[in-house]
Amino acid sequence: MNTDELVELGQQLRVDSVRASAAAGSGHPTSSMSAADLVAVLFANHLRYDMDRPDHPGNDRFILSKGHASPLLYSAYKAAGAIEDGELLTFRKLGSRLEGHPTPRRLPYVETATGSLGQGLPIGVGIALAGRRLEHTGYRVWVLCGDSELAEGSVWEAAEHAAYEGLDNLTAIVDVNRLGQRGATRHGHDLDAYARRFQAFGWHTIEVDGHDVDAVDRAYGEARSTTGQPTVVLARTLKGKGVASVQDREGLHGKPLPEADEAIAELGGLRDRTFHVHEPHTSGQPRVIPSSETELPRWDPGEKVATRDAYGHALAALGSGRGDVVALDGEVSDSTRAEFFAKEHPERFFECYIAEQQLVAAAVGLAARGWVPYASTFAAFLTRAYDFVRMASVSGACVNLVGSHAGVSIGQDGPSQMGLEDLAMMRAVYGSTVLYPCDANQTAKLVAAMAGLDGVRYLRTSRGAAPVLYGPDEEFPVGGSKVLRSGERDRLTLVAAGVTVHEALAAADTLAREGIDVRVVDLYSVKPVDRETLRRAAEETGCLVTVEDHREEGGLGDAVLDAFSDGRPVPRLVRLAVRTMPGSASPDEQLHAAGIDAASIASAVTLLVEEAVVR
Amino acid sequence: MNTDELVELGQQLRVDSVRASAAAGSGHPTSSMSAADLVAVLFANHLRYDMDRPDHPGNDRFILSKGHASPLLYSAYKAAGAIEDGELLTFRKLGSRLEGHPTPRRLPYVETATGSLGQGLPIGVGIALAGRRLEHTGYRVWVLCGDSELAEGSVWEAAEHAAYEGLDNLTAIVDVNRLGQRGATRHGHDLDAYARRFQAFGWHTIEVDGHDVDAVDRAYGEARSTTGQPTVVLARTLKGKGVASVQDREGLHGKPLPEADEAIAELGGLRDRTFHVHEPHTSGQPRVIPSSETELPRWDPGEKVATRDAYGHALAALGSGRGDVVALDGEVSDSTRAEFFAKEHPERFFECYIAEQQLVAAAVGLAARGWVPYASTFAAFLTRAYDFVRMASVSGACVNLVGSHAGVSIGQDGPSQMGLEDLAMMRAVYGSTVLYPCDANQTAKLVAAMAGLDGVRYLRTSRGAAPVLYGPDEEFPVGGSKVLRSGERDRLTLVAAGVTVHEALAAADTLAREGIDVRVVDLYSVKPVDRETLRRAAEETGCLVTVEDHREEGGLGDAVLDAFSDGRPVPRLVRLAVRTMPGSASPDEQLHAAGIDAASIASAVTLLVEEAVVR
């Protein structure tokens, strides 16, 4: 498109943004208007995308990191012929694909859900990594950011990662409209302030008037021809550009324009221009991923193996069987054992250093491109990325997250390193799966199984070695459990997972010698739980005692409730969990101090028997 | 101290770090040895601290952000005469104050718990803000960071905040030892790479050989005399410095030295040098905080008020009554209504822009100085700071966190903006309090009450207006609840909080007209829960139906279990919660789609009655 056409298209996107927001009675037209020219030039002259084939492997990827400017995005889709005007006006209505913030669950052109700021660029880095290191189809990744969101640390994790990897297939476009939600940003229209930061991190920077379509056009061209480093286009814009009553004014964030018709007239009225987005350079052949039978590692019962070790070996084996499996780690791969994968498959391993938000974001980006990512760090440090995990579920992203060093059983390192809230955090994520194996063979099977699930999957591993309980051919369906001790005289059921399975078994043996039979259930699938087995245990033993190396809220103890929250009779319930703030101590001392070791379990059960709480 | 003495002190700190780790059989001596000279010079010649009075208001504040180098910290305390050699050798043992990672809960010289990297600097910013804007006692804040942790985005949130505020009372010292846990960092010994970044963010930078004590001494002097901007001292060091077998070598992170005795000999053997830390410049008078009776705002029953509005008004009132109350917000104060406080008390309001990690970290830092911070943003975006919340609990920090726009009831903005995991996240935090008011007067009372609690306190507010239910003189003790409907013929109990209280009341009215009496409990205190009321409801009605605008995991439904997890008989339980991924829709449509509006509740209860689940 030439200058005049681009100007016209920008105005059309403004008009349609105003119209969509007016029809909805809410939305962010002024944030759309500032970036309208930036998007017009990108979509018309630079983006390469087959609108009929969102799955085309050569498509460029566009991420609207400032997701609240969704009216602009949908207006651009309309101009590109992908959606009708009628649908545009369903914006923000019940059942519409055009949500307040874009999500790929509903609209195939959307790469990732946005709306929590500072996520678009890190996820874009993940997609650019896929393009650069794995796919080689020549696509570019364009991320449109707001200026306010540059305050998020995750943006600088992404800036660091992208520059270090030399991602010249990545372009960030920053809509520097000076105004955040509440008022002015720290740096206003000082483009240099942002340029200095990006340059220091190793980016090529271009400063431009974001309403000068020719200058923007040249900037994108320069970004495309820049090699060896990512480019950021810093565009000076005006919020509400084009409508004098709202232009560059505070207090109008997230509000439809007060006089929509007048604004539309001021913008030159309705237009109905469409254009054809440039086709991808490359063929549309889907990529071929080599695969073969996965030969999981096998351990003999009785061997002492840490589940984190089993994770590393199983992941390496899975990587050999499946060419679509990739691994990422937050600079602790020697602890999580992701290093076993890294050694065997270095081309599919992504070191993310100590930047857990970027770690999870890169996994989300890789998953968006169809890869099967396993991202690992200490369970405790996944809390750093909770917003990204939450948003991954909004995207419907299929990511595997693996948290090691869970619980007090890590020992001397103390509470800062102990994942004690991770089960609660992960269970609360929509559509998530939460797995917590207790032995090596179980871990290996679950590592392989999780690759085939929907949504966010979480695997919790332990630091210390534990005896292998199960044979290598045992199966562990997700949503299942294992009954490890069972008899007709069971007076209650111990429900455990991970390290506490071993403690529960030892307690059961102690209690049996005292004439108290108890059932032991290994609830390795914390979400979904095995309702059938729990209900049978409830009926047959009348009392469930949950034992977990986790806070008492939101973990195993709460998870069993899922089997009884439909109004049916509920068994008696007792929770053993970590109720204090641990200090340093040995693993055994920690488990004892928390009241979740074998001796504590046996004592608790004995008390229940003595007090006739159980039959 | 002169050069020779400083060199000697550095060696002593190395020797003691090696000894402590050897005695423990674990720990991070090599990470301590790299920074030993940096700490020796700081403690001997620059830090101003009354070791007999950790609460001295003029004390400088030192934060060991690389908390794993705790042997170095404890060795420095020993040299400063604060702890004995015998205690030093209790390092990492059960019951010792000298934990694997330092915590202020045990040791009074520690300002904040560290061990999750990238937190020391943001929390240091909070303390420096207190010093600069509120206290004026002239103390400096010194933060010793590792180089690996500079990959954390939170460090750059802090860098941005500190420079913008011109915090020249803050000095970051970076121990650039080139080696992370797994191997080399991205930038190795390239000090310029870090300097460029900090300069771009507005910091004064000094590059120095971290083992040249005179150069380090000069650098700290320069930092102290730099005005108008914070300073970072970038120090080139060697991990394991001083012991050839471990110096600058990979694969030795977090391991005691293999031959401790030989290493100690190589370091020149045992020393027992002590020194007197320089006294603070200022007097030790505790600060006087003006306070008066707080006159909370009052609303009449029936008025329609959003709890977020009530929060803002109550906080402003509390700020008028209590001079120690401060407020922080993440650039959404027009939404959270923290702006009401900001307008009345601008000198005690801290705008943190869109950087939720820095937001919570600043609150932790302010709390460490005895201020009573209220930090607010959307509930959804507090997930961004979960690691900081978790670590706040390790510190025992008394912070008030307020999440607005909770639940699907926000309406059109969609899932990215909906706090749906916040109750689970906050409940799982050790020692936390979780409050969820349903009306304005209740909100005001809880805002005031939370200031007096221990640990992390969370208040959840709602976007939409709701009728005031309670009179302005009603009391709402933490750990309590309100029974809003009750009768002898109650067939079950609806347990609700926040927006669902209103839905439950409407459902109860509908059901009453159909001849079905139900009890309604307003469980505004989600943690701790009112066990007594829940148990009575269980005994008298036999079935609890929880209704919450939150995911079904970890929220209200799980919270009620706390009243029944000691082996006592458990009532029948039914959970109504958000089980789908919402899209855009109106608030009423959202509540209905999630099955938690009055009509859905009434239907669910009717079904339970028809199926004879309830009596």
Active site residue B356: yes
Contact B424/A425, CB-based, under 8 Å? Answer: yes
Q: Which is it for the CA torsion B32, B35, B39, B41, positive or negative?
A: positive
Mark which residues 121-140 of A lie under 8 Å from B by CB.
none
Q: Does A454 touch chain B (CB under 8 A)?
A: no
Query: In angstroms, rounded to a whole number, what is the distance separating the alpha carbons of residues A370 and A391?
Result: 17
Chain B, nearest residue to A250 by Cα: B334
Contact list, A113 vs chain B (CB under 8 Å): 415-416
Chain A, nearest residue to B329 by Cα: A182
List the one residue out of B68, B382, B105 whose CA is nearest residue A582: B105
Contact list, B572 vs chain A (CB under 8 Å): 567-570
Query: In angstroms, rounded to a whole number, what is the distance separating the alpha carbons of residues A444 and A315?
Result: 8
Confidence tier at A286 by pLDDT (50, 70, 90): confident
Predicted confidence (pLDDT) per residue in A545-591, tens digit: 999 999 999 999 999 999 999 999 999 999 999 999 999 999 999 99
Q: How far is CA B338 from CA A116, B316, B328, B345, in A?
A: 20, 8, 8, 11
pLDDT over threshold 90, residue A106: no
| Contact predicate B236/B187, CB 8 Å | no
List the one residue out of A518, A531, A610, A609 whose CA is nearest residue A570: A531
Check if A3-266 and A304-467 are the same fold.
yes
Query: In angstroms, rounded to a whole number, what is the distance separating the alpha carbons of residues A172 and A35?
Result: 13
- Longest CA–CA span in chain B (Å) reads 89
Task: Note the pLDDT of residue B286.
Answer: 86
Query: Among the options B111, B149, B152, B356, which is catalytic?
Result: B356
What value of ipTM does the predicted structure carry? 0.98
Query: Tokens 């002024």 map to which residue?
Result: A30
List the one residue out of B95, B228, B250, B238 whose CA is nearest residue B184: B250
How buried is A24 (Cβ within 10 angstroms: 0-12 exposed, 13-18 middle, 19+ buried)? buried
Give the number of C-alpha atoms closer than 13 A to the C-alpha of residue A573, restricted to the C-beta side. Answer: 29
Out of B94, B200, B425, the one facing A585 most closely (by C-beta) is B94
CATH architecture of B304-467: 3-Layer(aba) Sandwich (3.40)
Task: Note the pLDDT of residue B284.
Answer: 84
Out of B157, B411, B593, the one facing A153 most closely (by C-beta) is B157
Q: Is A144 helix (H, G, I), strand (E, B) or coil?
A: strand
Query: Tokens 């998870």 map to which residue?
Result: A559
Query: In angstroms, rounded to a whole number, what is the distance separating the alpha carbons of residues A178 and A238?
Result: 7
A153-164 helix and A120-129 helix, angle to the nearest 10 degrees: 20
Contact list, B65 vs chain A (CB under 8 Å): none
Q: What is the DSSP string of B232-260?
A: EEEEE--TTTT-TTTTT-TT-TT---TTH
CA torsion, points A386, A390, A391, A395, in degrees to nearest 10?
140
Per DSSP, B179 falls in state B
Residue of A97, A199, A343, A416 to mutate, testing the B interface (most B Cβ within 10 Å of its Cβ): A416
Mark which residues 129-188 of B lie under 8 Å from A by CB.
148-149, 151-157, 160, 164, 180-182, 185-186
Q: Does A571 touch chain B (CB under 8 A)?
A: yes
Q: Which is it for the CA torsion A381, A431, B409, B484, positive or negative?
A: negative
Predicted confidence (pLDDT) per residue in B318-362, tens digit: 999 999 999 999 999 999 999 999 999 999 999 999 999 999 999
Q: Does A416 touch chain B (CB under 8 A)?
A: yes
Query: In angstroms, rounded to a whole number, what is the distance separating the alpha carbons of residues A334 and A343?
Result: 11
Mark which residues 299-358 of A lie under 8 Å from B by CB.
329, 331-335, 339, 351, 353-358
Confidence tier at A283 by pLDDT (50, 70, 90): confident
Question: At CA B526, angle to CA B524 and CA B528, rounded to 5?
Answer: 115
Q: Is the bond into B346 cis (omega within 30 degrees of 0)?
A: no
Query: In angstroms, rounded to a whole number, what is the distance separating the alpha carbons of residues B317 and B331?
Result: 21
Q: Is A351 helix (H, G, I), strand (E, B) or coil?
A: strand
Query: In angstroms, rounded to a whole number, what is the distance separating the alpha carbons of residues A559 and A536?
Result: 16
Out of B67, B99, B424, the one facing A584 most closely (by C-beta) is B99
Q: What is the CATH number of domain B3-266?
A: 3.40.50.970
Confidence tier at A284 by pLDDT (50, 70, 90): confident
Distance of CA B294 to the CA centre of its chain: 26
Predicted confidence (pLDDT) per residue in A154-207, tens digit: 999 999 999 999 999 999 999 999 999 999 999 999 999 999 999 999 999 999
Alpha-helical segments (H) within B529-579? 531-541, 556-559
Alpha-helical segments (H) within B165-306? 191-200, 213-225, 260-266
pLDDT over threshold 90, residue A614: no
Distance of CA A74 to the CA centre of its chain: 24
> HEC states along B1-30?
CCHHHHHHHHHHHHHHHHHHHHHHCCCCHH
Task: Note the pLDDT of residue B614.
Answer: 78
Chain B, nearest residue to A26 by Cα: B412
Task: Note the pLDDT of residue B287.
Answer: 86
* pTM for the full predicted model: 0.98
Q: Is A539 helix (H, G, I), strand (E, B) or coil?
A: helix
Q: Which residues contact A395 (CB under 8 A, 6 or more apart)?
A: A103, A104, A105, A112, A113, A364, A368
The residue-averaged pLDDT of A48-77 equals: 97
Task: Note the pLDDT of residue B538.
Answer: 98
Buried b (16+ CB within 10 A) or exposed e, A339-378: bbbbebbeebbbbbbbbbbbbbbbbbbbbbbbbbbbbbbb
Contact B99/A559, CB-based, under 8 Å? Answer: no
Q: What is the DSSP string of A182-230?
A: SSB-SSTT-HHHHHHHHHHTT-EEEEEETT-HHHHHHHHHHHHH--SS-
Contact list, B356 vs chain A (CB under 8 Å): 152, 387
List the one residue out of B157, B137, B79, B73 whose CA is nearest residue B284: B137
Residues of chain B with confidence (pLDDT) below 50: none
Mark which residues 4-33 of B lie under 8 Å from A by CB.
24, 26-27
Distance of CA B416 to the CA centre of its chain: 23
Contact list, A346 vs chain B (CB under 8 Å): none
| Contact predicate A384/A411, CB 8 Å | no
Contact list, B94 vs chain A (CB under 8 Å): 583-586, 589, 593
Q: Is the bond into B582 cis (omega within 30 degrees of 0)?
A: no
Buried b (16+ CB within 10 A) or exposed e, A281-301: ebeeeeeeeeeeebebbebee
Predicted confidence (pLDDT) per residue in B112-143, tens digit: 999 999 999 999 999 999 999 999 999 999 99
Contact B94/A355, CB-based, under 8 Å? Answer: no
How buried is B292 (Cβ within 10 angstroms: 0-12 exposed, 13-18 middle, 19+ buried)? exposed
Chain B, nearest residue to A335 by Cα: B182
Alpha-helical segments (H) within A96-190? 120-129, 153-164
> HEC states along A471-495?
CCCCCCCCCCCEEEECCCCCCCEEE
End-to-end alpha-carbon separation of chain A, Å? 81
Per DSSP, A384 falls in state G
Chain A, nearest residue to B382 by Cα: A387
Query: In angstroms, rounded to a whole number, what is the distance separating the alpha carbons of residues B99 and B396?
Result: 15
DSSP H or E run through B306? strand B304-306
| Contact predicate B59/B280, CB 8 Å | yes
Mark which residues 234-263 of B lie under 8 Å from A by CB.
none
CATH fold label, A482-614: Rossmann fold (3.40.50)
DSSP H or E run through B313? helix B307-321
Q: Which residues contact B261 (CB under 8 A, 6 or more apart)?
A: none
Out of B417, B561, B593, the one facing A115 most closely (by C-beta) is B417
| Contact predicate B399/B375, CB 8 Å | yes
Tokens matching residue A43: 């979509």
| Contact predicate B581/A430, CB 8 Å | yes
Mark which residues 490-519 of A lie under 8 Å from B by CB.
none
Chain A, nearest residue to B612 by Cα: A567
List the one residue out of B342, B294, B297 whose CA is nearest residue B320: B294
Task: Note the pLDDT of residue B106.
Answer: 86
Out of A98, A181, A569, the one facing B334 most closely (by C-beta) is A181
| Contact predicate A117/A152, CB 8 Å | yes
CB pairs under 8 A between A and B: 368
Q: What is the DSSP string of B60-121?
A: -EEEESSGGGHHHHHHHHHHTTSS-HHHHTTTTSTT-SS-SS--TTT-TT--S---STT-HH
3-state helix, strand, coil split of chain B in percent (to 5) is 40, 15, 40
In chain A, where the domains are located: 3-266, 304-467, 482-614
Chain B, nearest residue to A113 by Cα: B416
